[in-house]
Amino acid sequence: MAIRDLEYSPTVLAYFDQPHRAGTLKVPKTQMVEGRSGTTREGFVVQFQLQVAGQAITDGRYRVYGCPHGIAAAAWVVDQLIGGATRNVGQIRPQQIAEALDLPVEKMYVALIVEDALKQCAAQVEEE
């Protein structure tokens, strides 16, 4: 048996049912940054693609293997970043994700893995 319905916040539930922007970007690799973290053993793998135009994130996609919290975390992060500045990418903190999605403590590792994948994206932004 697993986690009960009631333990998911409305935001998590909504993202789980409508994980819009899941998938991959259909633009050349040169116009995007990518990050990926997690393992199936940890029960969570996430991959981000963010389309960069100058200092702005113009689009983004994710793929995710994980629990509903994990799916929501990936989707939420992409929603936050699109339309914003590239410098935001490295600035999303696990605590923010946890608060936005009402993560239970035992799910904090999801936010940490997301942060890790975002850091990879941020590093690529800097390189460019």
Partner 1 sequence: MTKRVYMDYAATTPVDPCVIEEMNRYLGPSDLFANPASSHWAGAEAKKAVEGARERIAHKLGAHPTEIVWTSGATESNNLALKGVAAYYQTKGRHIVTARTEHKAVLDSAQALQSEGFEVTFLTPDESGVVHPDQIKSVLRNDTILVSLMHVNNEIGVIQDIHAVADICRARGVLFHVDGAQSVGKLPIDLSRLPVDLLSFCAHKIYGPKGVGGLFVRRHPKVNLSPLQHGGGHEYGFRSGTVPSHLVTGFAHAVELAVDHMGVESTRIGTLKKRLYDGLRDTPRILLNGAVGTTVPNILNVSFAGVEGESLLHGLRNLAVSSGSACASASREPSYVLRALGRDDALAQASIRFSLGRFSTESEVDFASALVAEQVARLRDLAPECLISDI
Identify which of residues 43 and 90 has a Cβ nearer to partner 1 in the complex.
Answer: 43
| Closer by beta carbon to partner 1, 30 or else 40 | 40
Q: How far apart are CA 109 and CA 112, in angstroms?
A: 5
Q: Give helix 68-81 / helix 94-101 axis angle, nearest 10°.
A: 110
Query: How many other CB atoms are there within 10 angstroms of residue 2's CB atom?
Result: 5
Least distance from partner 1 to the Cβ atom of residue 60, Å: 15
Query: Between residues 22 and 112, which has the closer beta carbon with respect to partner 1?
Result: 22
Closer of 68 and 94 to partner 1 (Cβ): 68
Closest contact distance (angstroms) between CB of 55 and partner 1 is 28
Length of the chain: 128
Cβ atoms of 89 and 50 within 8 Å: the answer is: yes
List of residues contacting partner 1 (CB under 8 A) = 1-8, 16, 19, 22, 36, 40-41, 43-47, 63-68, 70-71, 104, 106
Of the candidates 64, 84, 77, the residue with the CA atom closest to the CA atom of residue 118: 77
